[in-house]
Amino acid sequence: MKLLVTGSSGLIGSEVCVHFSALGWEIHGVDNNQRAVFFGPQGDTRWNQERLEKNLPGFQHHELDIRDRAGVLALLQKVKPDAIVHTAAQPSHDRAAAIPFDDFDTNAVGTLNLLEATRQACPNTPFVHMSTNKVYGDRPNTIALKELETRWDYADPAYENGITEEFSIDQSKHSLFGASKVAADVMVQEYGRYFDMPTCCLRGGCLTGPNHTGVELHGFLSYLVKCNLEGKEYRVFGYKGKQVRDNIHSHDVARFIEEFIKAPRVAEVYNIGGGRNNSCSIYEAFAIAAKFSGKEQIHTYVDENRVGDHICYISDLSKMRAHYPGWDITISLEETIGQIVEAWGRR
């Protein structure tokens, strides 16, 4: 069985490569280290590519930009993968505003290139797209909230378990990044419905883990821990530092992708995150990281939130658990942060 993974040197891409390699799959990774272009040397992921090439038997790296339409089609026609996991993206709100064409061409057009190549080369192949909860824009901020000592939380009991897939993506500010990801998300659904292809969008909350190359503009927990260990200042943007994210370990993301590929559905959408039990505010994350590192977090507060940022976002995992009852969260938030601390210490 052959698996093709775009963004294979990134957090989720590399985790998927490792997970499926252990299951005996032949892994084809597609990456061109574009993170180093988007974020500079601190975003470089060559170290992760080298890790995969060293540790995964038969791993094949393909140096390809997903914006290369002809190259993408040629690769899929050559490999004819049994499953495709698309994680490659420009992942930052803030960066997108500075590079709008690169952002849209990567996130939206690159996804379309992959979908059409899949339709032509292997239309029955399950296609898993890593989308984002930013497709909902800032609409989650319209939910009534209550302020607690260290975090914001939903005041409306309808959201006790978090936000479901029925939540509207309309009439909200997305950031240019969110808009390009909406375009990709809807196109993945459309190829599923229109061409009856097995596709799904995974609308991720905070996806994290020890192999994340976190930078200030992307990779909340990884970058926070890096700052903690190095004694660098972490900037908190607005909302009193009580903004909440649910965090899911990359291994649990890979496990869900395995479940979908084993029993694919057409044009599905899932909110994939850590759920309420794995949620934390920025200040709560400071405390957990300090517990593992023994260092207090150096930080400053900027009284202006990022454009389109969520005050409180928790994924409702009910649909995922109902469709794939063999899957659930297996790695807690504390264990995840502990792993990130250990990994940055080694790196």
E strand or H helix that includes residue 83? strand 83-86
Question: Would you mind telling me the total number of residues written for the chain in this entry?
Answer: 347
pLDDT score at 217: 66
Q: How buried is residue 194: exposed, middle or buried, by Cβ count under 10 Å (0-12/13-18/19+)? A: exposed
- pLDDT by 10s per residue, the chain, length 347: 999 999 999 999 999 999 999 999 999 999 999 887 887 888 889 999 999 999 999 999 999 999 999 999 999 999 999 999 999 999 887 889 999 999 999 999 999 999 999 999 999 999 999 999 999 999 999 999 999 999 999 999 999 999 999 999 999 999 999 999 999 999 999 999 999 999 999 999 899 999 887 778 667 899 999 999 999 999 999 999 999 999 999 999 999 999 999 999 999 999 999 999 999 999 999 999 999 999 999 999 999 988 778 999 999 999 999 999 999 999 999 999 999 999 987 87
Out of 3.40.309.10, 3.40.50.1220, 3.40.50.2300, 3.40.50.720, the CATH code matching 2-143+160-211+249-275+310-330 is 3.40.50.720
45: helix, strand or coil: coil
Amino acid letter for position 291: K
How many angstroms separate the CA atoms of 181 and 129, rounded?
A: 10
pTM over 0.85: yes
- Collect all residues with Cβ–Cβ distance below 8 Å to 145 and sequence separation of at least 6: 152, 153, 154, 155, 311, 312
Q: What is the reported pLDDT for 207?
A: 94
Is 205 strand, coil or helix? coil
Residue 83's identity, in one-letter code, is: A
- For the purposes of burial, counting CB atoms within 10 Å of the CB of 229, is it exposed (0-12), middle (13-18) or buried (19 or more)? middle
Contacts of 118-122 with CB under 8 Å at 24 or more apart are 118/76, 118/84, 118/191, 118/197, 119/191, 119/195, 119/197, 120/73, 120/76, 120/77, 121/73, 121/76, 121/77, 121/80, 122/76, 122/80, 122/81
Per the CB < 8 A criterion, the answer to whether 141 and 311 are in contact is yes
How is residue 142 annotated by DSSP?
Answer: G
SS3 assignment for 146-200? EECCCCEEECCHHHCCCECCCCCCCCCCCHHHHHHHHHHHHHHHHHHHHHCCCEE
What is the structure's pLDDT at 51? Answer: 96
Locate tokens 């993408």: which residue? 72
